[in-house]
Structure 1
Amino acid sequence: MNNLPTEFPDFGLTPDQRRQAVRGHYYEWPGMDGEHGEIWCYSDRFSYRPGEVVALHVSSTAANFRIAVVRDGGTETKVFERAGIAARWQDTLDQCSVEGCGWEVSFEFPVGDDWPSGAYRVTLTADGRDGNPIHCQHLFIVSPRPGKKPGRVLQVAATGTWLAYNTWGGSNHYQGITGPHRDQYARMVSTQRPWCRGFVVLPKEAPRVPLEVAVPPKTVPRYPHMEWAFATGHSKKYASSGWASYDSHFFRFAERAGYAVDLASQHELHFSPDILDGYDCVAFVGHDEYWTWEMRDAVDAYVERGGHAARFAGNFMWQTRLEDEGRRQVCYKYRARAEDPAYRGDDVIRATNSWEAPEIGRPGAATFGLNATRGVYAGWGGCAPRGVRGFPVYRPEHWAFAGTGVYYGDLLGADSHVYGYEVDGLDHEIRGGLPYPTADSGAPDGLQILAVGMASQVEESADIPFEDQFLGDEDGRFTAETLFGEASDANLEKVKRGNGMIVNFPRGKGEVFHAGSCEWVAGLLRQDAMVERMTKNVLDRYLGRK
């Protein structure tokens, strides 16, 4: 096991600044860099196919800029560059997070016919007002051409979750400058704005959410990832979502391990579900929290026909809707029952609430075997901060563990901390030392629970003053109200203790494997041999290599 430090890292912040880093609302906005100058950009779409044209909307204090485009995979490959491109400062709508920035197109370039599917990182560079360079990072996806893809994996990037956490412009699905007092999270967020700082690229020293500290007893929780973000000028949500923190680590690992991998956005899953056709294996990774009904339809139909879904991801929580041809994502979340028009119409099953809300009637377990409301938090704040770090193994004889060397009761991935920061689980019972889903858990027929860890929906400790709690019991009470109709203490008692699982089950002619943790990718990033072996076992089986 790792020998962890007993003190939190110091990023040079005062106690007041540390509190602001966690409690405050800070974000990227046009003009924030003042006399230094700045450059920002976004593309008109998340993804393109070879031969299609990428339209960049750029706003810059400099009169011209340089562009470099690099494919970000197992190796980095520069595919395009140009200098001397004209730019200007463009006015931005106040509610750009909701309505889009409204910038004119500044530059267009075609996707090469020979550009492989994958993530393409765009770097814009210009001269700042003070003579120092200014930069902007953007990312778009080159999606695969139609047709059979024998032996290839399709990774679906968690773009709905990227969109939900993007802080650029002031509002996302968590905090915001909407509402009469400019203090409400946004129920609708736009794709037509730049990505926040830290979603596309990150330095290696950027902390992840789960704590890498041996927390002494009675310690007031600290949040190194938010403190680092505040100290370095990155988004408060860089560690909660984005290509840099999550999706990239699986994609790079898979290519370096010799797998042929294509990449698509969730928008394609929604609007072009036939993109799954021809693949033996489709993978979902990282923090993958926001889905539309149509996206789930696509995956369910694919698996029923004989496809294989490999989900190395956690927190399958919210239903969303897409509007304006996909340029706007809608999720009322905690205010859904009071404000979402779906509750006043004839289509309440499309309400943008938790998937486990009874009126929606489609719990997450029906697609991926696990439910978010039976998770959620582990390894940070006051939620199991001294917890297991890895998955406690119950069925080591299962094919997924072949070659890992794990035994009953071992922790899979503890050294690399693959368990957290949000996990998915099920109601279950232990019989003969083995876990089984309860009859009312919603688990699909034939589901096997391979590993189970503990999680919590509340920060429950007499040692943590209320004013020092970041999570508190708000989410637990929301779950209690969602599932049982009232956020009472009695109902909170029913939901506050959660779990995270690894499960496997057949469906129709296909099969699903789900390691229900956001942090599975940390095991790939940190080259944990057991986690790498298990990931390969799943991919090899689903590609027909075993």
Structure 2
Amino acid sequence: MAKLPTEFPDFGLTLHQRRQAVRGHYWEWPGMDGEHGEIWCYSDRFSYRRGETVTLHVSSTASSFSIAIVRDGGIETKMFEKAGIAARWQDTPDQCSVLGCGWDASFEFRVGDDWPSGAYRVTLTADGRDGKPVRCHHLFIVTPQPGKKRGRVLQVAATGTWLAYNTWGGSNHYEGITGPNRDQYAPMVSTQRPWCRGFTVLPKEVPRVPLEVAVPPKTAPRYPHMEWAFATSHSKKYASSGWASYDSHFFRFAECAGYAVDLASQHELHFSPEILDGYDCVVFVGHDEYWTWEMRNAVDAYVERGGHAARFAGNFMWQTRLEDEGRRQVCYKYRARAEDPVYRGGDVTRATNSWEAPEIGRPGATTFGLNATRGIYAGWGGCAPRGVRGFPVYRPEHWAFAGTGIYYGDLLGADSHVYGYEVDGLDHEIRGGLPYPTPDSGAPDGLEILAVGMAAQVEESADIAFEHQFLGDEDGRFTAETLFGEANDANLDKVKRGNGMIVSFRRGKGEVFHAGSCEWVAGLLRQDAMVERVTRNVLDRYLGKS
């Protein structure tokens, strides 16, 4: 195992700035770059088919810009470029995160008939006021054509989570400038705004959420990813979501490994569930936290009729609703029982609360085998910061581990830190040295637990003062109240210790494999041979190659 450094990285911040990087609320907004000038853009939709028209809405301090579009796959391929496109500065509403920017259309282009399905990075470049170039980055998805897709994988990008974490304009589902004091997160967020800095493209070797430091004893938690973001003017949430931090790493790995991969957004699952038809294998990766009821219906039906779902992802937590033809995502989250209108006369099963809320009656385990509220944090802050880094394996004989040489008790992916950030788990018990779901865990019949690691919902230490903690016990108390009705200490004690798992099970004519960690893609990014082999084993089995 690689030896970790004992010092936190230094990004040139003072102690006050480090605290502000973690506890402060900062975001991207029009005019933030002042005298230097700037350019921003968004597209009218997340995704398009061949032959459809992409409309870009651009606001720029320059009078013209150039555009370059690259397909971001195993090989980067330039697909389109043009210079001398007219631009102007466009006024933006204060609450653009909620309402959308409302900018006029600036440029349109047609998706070529020969453009393969995948992610397309858009780079706009203009002249800054100081003579230096200014740029912005955007991304859209080209979805596959209808028809049978034997031998192809469909990757579904976690666009609901991208939307939830997008900081552009000041508000997302975590922090915000809404409410009477302009200090509340937004229960509604719009697709009609730019992506925040770091969601589309990132430098190599930027910090991920899990710590790559051997934390000395009695050390107050540090959060290098947020310190880097603050120091470099990137979004505070760049490491929590987005194409650049998560989805891209699987897509590139799969294409480089010889798999034929198509890409779709979660909006396709919601509005066009037939997109799954004809695929033997559908994949979900990274931080995949926000889903609608309809998206789950699409996956459940697909598996029942013989499909194979592989989820290399963590934190299956929140139900959302889509409004305004998908241009607005709704999730009241922690305030759902007090503010979500469905609690006052609507269909409460569609409440935008945790999937494990009893009134919703549809725990995440019924779709993917694991629950978010029984997992959560590992490997960062004060939640198992010196933890296992990889999945402790209990059933090495399982087909997923074939060819790895792994043994009972070994750690899968420890060198590349695949176990971390946020993980999903189950209530379980150990019998004869093997884990089994408890009868009331909600696990599907026949589910096998292949690996289990420890996690926590509370930063808890006898030596570290509460004011030095970022996560604290807020999420733990929310889970306690959601599951047991009150957020008291007794109920907190029932939920504050969690776990993360790898599981597999059959449903109907199909099968599900779930490695429940946001950081599985770190093993692909860092070319961890064992993680790559397990990934191939799952894909090959589900594509009928093994």
Q: Same fold (TM over 0.5)?
A: yes
Tell me the residue number matched to 2:447.
447
Secondary structure, aligned partner of 2:382: coil
Aligned partner letter, 1:111: V
> Residues of 2 paired with 1:205 and 1:130: CA distance?
30
**1:464 shift after superposition:** 1.3
Code of the aligned partner of 1:517: S
CA distance in 2, matches of 1:2, 1:344: 54
Q: Is 1:199–2:199 an aligned residue pair?
A: yes
Tell me the equivalent position of 1:425.
Answer: 425
Shift of 1:261: 0.1
CA distance in 1, matches of 2:342, 2:402: 47
TM-score, length basis structure 2: 1.00
Distance of 1:464 and 1:317 partners within structure 2: 28
Q: How much does 1:426 deviate? A: 0.1
**1:23-43 CA distances to partner (integer Å, 9 max, x unpaired)?**
000000000000000000000
Aligned residue identity for 1:180:
P
1:136-151 alignment runs, 5 A limit? 136-151=136-151
In 2, distance between residues paired with 1:5 and 1:405?
29
Q: Which amino acid aligns with 1:208?
A: R
Alpha-carbon deviations, 1:347-372, whole Å to 9, x = none?
00000000000000000000000000
Residues 71-470 of structure 1: pairs in structure 2 closer than 5 A: 71-470=71-470
2:157 aligned partner, one-letter code: A
* Alpha-carbon distance in 1 for matches of 2:113, 2:396: 46
Q: Which amino acid aligns with 2:298?
A: A
2:43 is matched with 43
TM (norm. structure 1) is 1.00
For 2:445 and 2:279, locate their aligned partners in 1 and report how far apart those are by CA, in whole Å: 24
SS at 1:161 equivalent: helix
1:7 corresponding residue in structure 2: 7
Hey, what's the Cα distance between the residues in 1 that align with 2:436 and 2:205? 40
Name segments (4+ residues, structure 1) moved above 2 Å: none
1:176-223 CA-to-partner distances (Å, cap 9, x unmatched) read 000000000000000000000000000012100000000011000000
Match of 1:482 in 2: 482
Q: Identity of aligned pairs, percent?
A: 90
Q: Distance in 1 between matches of 2:33 and 2:404?
A: 49
For structure 2, the residue ranges without an aligned partner over 5 or more in a row are none
> What SS is found at the alignment partner of 1:3?
coil
SS across alignment from 1:116? coil
Unmatched 5+ stretches in structure 1: none
Q: 2: distance between equivalents of 1:404 and 1:43? A: 43
Distance in 1, matches of 2:19 and 2:431, equals 45
Q: Distance in 1 between matches of 2:121 and 2:204?
A: 17
String of CA shifts for 1:138-183, please: whole Å, max 9, x gaps.
0000000000001000000000000000000000000000000000
Separation in 2, partners of 1:134, 1:407: 52
- What is the CA distance between 1:466 and its match in structure 2? 1.1
1:462 offset after TM fit, Å? 1.5
Query: Residue 498 of structure 1 corresponds to which residue in structure 2?
Result: 498
**How far apart, CA to CA, are the structure 2 residues paired with 1:290 and 1:87?**
35
Range 178-187 or range 338-347, more displaced: 338-347
Q: Distance in 1 between matches of 2:346 and 2:186?
A: 24
Q: Distance in 1 between matches of 2:31 and 2:354?
A: 36
Shift of the alpha carbon at 1:2?
1.1
CA–CA separation in structure 1 for the residues paired with 2:205 and 2:529: 22
Q: Secondary structure at the match of 1:174?
A: coil
How many aligned residue pairs are there?
546
- How far off is 1:345 after superposition? 1.5
CA distance in 2, matches of 1:303, 1:170: 39
Cα displacement string for residues 36-83 of structure 1 (whole angstroms, at most 9, x for unaligned residues): 000000000000000000000000000000000000000000000000
Separation in structure 1 between the aligned mates of residue 301 and residue 344 of structure 2, nearest angstrom: 29
CA distance in 2, matches of 1:22, 1:2: 28
| Amino acid paired to 1:193 | R
- Letter paired with 1:508: G
Q: Which one-letter code corresponds to 2:15 in the other structure?
A: P
Q: Which amino acid aligns with 1:143?
A: T
Give the letter aligned to residue 40 of structure 1. W
Question: Corresponding residue for 2:544?
Answer: 544
Distance 1:58 1:38 in 2: 11
Q: 1:346 Cα shift? A: 3.5
Question: How far apart are 1:278 and its partner, in Å?
Answer: 0.3
**One-letter amino acid matched to 1:130:** D
